[in-house]
Amino acid sequence: MKKWQGDLMISVIIPFHPDLGPRDKAFNWIREYYEIYFPSAEKIIARSKAPFNKSKAINEAAKNAKGSIIVIADADIIINPRLLRKAIKMLDSYPWIIPYNDVLDLTRVSTNRVLQTNPSWPLLANLEFQKRKTKNVMPVGGLNILKRECFEAAGGFDERFQGWGGEDDAFAAAMNTFCGHYKRVDQSIYHLWHPRSKPSDNRNYHTNFELALRYCNAQGNKSEMRKIIQERGKS
């Protein structure tokens, strides 16, 4: 891989849907963070028409991205920039990277403290957070690092997912099947507080869940995974 400084190989895709509130404030901070610490990388804000479709937004952004390396970064996630650079270089040895194993959920008060500062690392001292409980199921979204060729081999994200939920798990299953299993890095990321949506708030939750389950069950079976992917776009 070419050295980092001046490297134009990297496209950072940030999916975002405004709420005119906490999510907007978090997004503005995160966007500036990437401008400061990754000035040479291409930054693309992934949007879609209402109702927001995260999968469609990411697919459109990836289609327009110029980089051979794609970083998909949620607009509420903060990571040590030095460790992110290190994780990107790991693509020399692994097909794709999930650069964390712990999610530290900042409290509302601590999130406000962070957002009142200019984006910088390290973060403020004495921030309050709660380590997210995973119930033996590790999250796979939030921050992904991958080669463009792998994104395309996995078919990108499935745009049948509506609202939110399930698309990250489905994408991970397809990536693992067609590109090889991800490498997870032993480090933490911070999650900025914002009002959480509940499954009951998404009328498509159960449909999304069933579709994600099909992807997970097909993981490792290229033939079955291809069948699911080929259903896309069919009524």
- Give the pLDDT of residue 233: 84
| Domain spans of the chain, in order of start | 10-230
- Mean pLDDT value across residues 79-96: 97
Whether cis (ω within 30° of 0) applies to the bond prior to 51 is: yes
Please state the pTM of the whole predicted model: 0.94
The reported pLDDT for the residue numbered 166 is 95
The answer to whether the Cα torsion of 38, 44, 50, 54 is positive or negative is negative
Task: Label residues 189-208 b or e (16+ Cβ within 10 Å = b).
Answer: bbbbbbeeeeeeebebbebb
- Quick: pLDDT tens for 13-32: 999 999 888 999 999 999 99
Q: What is the mean pLDDT of the chain?
A: 93
For 146-161, what is each residue's pLDDT tens digit?
A: 999 999 999 999 999 9
The pLDDT of residue 169 is 98
Please count the other Cβ atoms lying within 10 Å of the Cβ belonging to residue 71: 25
pLDDT at position 162 over 80: yes
pLDDT at 6: 41
Confidence of residue 200 (pLDDT cuts 50, 70, 90): low
The more confidently predicted of residues 72 and 164 is 72
Q: What is the CA radius of gyration of the chain?
A: 17
Q: Could you give the C-alpha distances from 96 to 83, 90, 137, in angstroms and in order? A: 15, 8, 19
Q: Return the SS3 of 115.
A: helix
pLDDT for res 20: 84
- Residue 211 pLDDT: 98
The yes-or-no verdict on residue 197 having pLDDT over 80 is no
Give CATH superfamily name and number for 10-230.
Spore Coat Polysaccharide Biosynthesis Protein SpsA; Chain A (3.90.550.10)
Q: Are 180 and 94 contacting, i.e. CB atoms less than 8 angstroms apart?
A: yes
User: What's the Cα-to-Cα distance from 127 to each of 81, 85, 90, 95, 105, rounded to whole Å?
Assistant: 18, 24, 30, 34, 10
State residue 235's pLDDT score: 57
- Got the DSSP string for 197-235? PPGGG-TTHHHHHHHHHHHHHHTT-HHHHHHHHHTTT--
Q: What is the distance, to the nearest Å, from the Cα of residue 104 to the centroid of all Cα atoms in its chain?
A: 16
| pLDDT in the model for residue 1 | 41
Q: Tens of pLDDT along 42-84?
A: 999 999 888 889 999 999 999 999 999 999 999 999 999 999 9
Q: In what order do the strands lie in the sheet with 96-98?
A: 42-46, 10-15, 69-73, 143-147, 96-98, 183-184
Res 103 pLDDT > 80: yes
Q: Does 122 sit behind a cis peptide bond, omega within 30 degrees of 0 on the bond before it?
A: yes
Q: Could you give the CA distance from residue 12 to residue 37 in angstroms, rounded to a whole number?
A: 12
